[in-house]
Structure 1
Amino acid sequence: MLEAGEDPLYVARRIVRFASEDVGLADSKALGVAVDAYQACHFLGMPECSVHLTHAVVYMSMAPKSNALYLAYESAKSDALKQLAEPVPLVIRNAPTRLMKELGYGEGYKYAHNMKDKLADMQCLPDSLEGRQYYRPTEEGLEKKYKARLGEIKEWKSQMKGK
């Protein structure tokens, strides 16, 4: 593509997209490699940046693959477009004014960093979407750890509901 005259920044942008869409959290360093290649292309131009693009392409080709982030976004987007009129739960609404506080904005908000387990059990989605899961990690690369962590969080939430 480069030797045929394609803009190296176009190629770099496609690699950045690939890093999140096709590698995702299976190797979260992939996005950094891709962005670094884009910046090198922007800074150096051709022909110098060809090696940076090659670096990124080889990295992406060797990385474990997961499209779980892409699928999560598409699913959330679909729900958002169907539920445009759904209100944001009061608990996660900012309350910068006295009126908003009186209306219950932010009431019951739990700051995870202040909680014993560093988790907060709150309903953050509209009622019609409560319990919906968008991100479904795979067994690929680092996502295997994220999948295990998500399982721990689900177990914690079920224990909290039992209390």
Structure 2
Amino acid sequence: MMEEDQTQKKPRVLCLHGFRTSAEILKKLVSRWPESVTHKLDLVFLDAKFPAQGESDVEGIFDPPYFEWFQSNQDFSEYMNFEECLTYIEDFMVENGPFDGLLGFSQGAVLAAALPGMQAQGVALGKVKNKIKFLILISGAKFGGNKFGAPKLASNAFSKLIDIPSIHFIGTFS
């Protein structure tokens, strides 16, 4: 009985993989983290809705299939399938939640970073009863800025402060 109580207290985290990768790939990468971290979290890995529409940077390293959360044109001024992506994540969260936080890698981190602001504005995750309480962002970025556009629904995701803790993993290639 004591073990069940401890399991229920673990923060439940929805994990969103990178562009043209998969939930299985992210799971393998996160499994390299120290057990002192991973055993404190209930990690749930989700494949994106859309099969990869081009080559994956991880071909030859990790096996397919590969997925992407949404698509954009080359200069990131137009986004496709973004609303469908949000609905897909929302439905998964409603059916499999509740979730306390989000972990995102690369494209998944860009998406995860925007979701709390979009949830607060009522443009995403409206059927999800609980608010996102924290973020773990790995190699992410934010929609918008001087160089890149943002999907319409995410255009104001960062316009107001969202008071939740976040940890950001940022690195360089050597």
1 or 2, which has the higher strand percentage? 2
TM range (shorter): under 0.3
Structure with the greater alpha carbon radius of gyration: 1
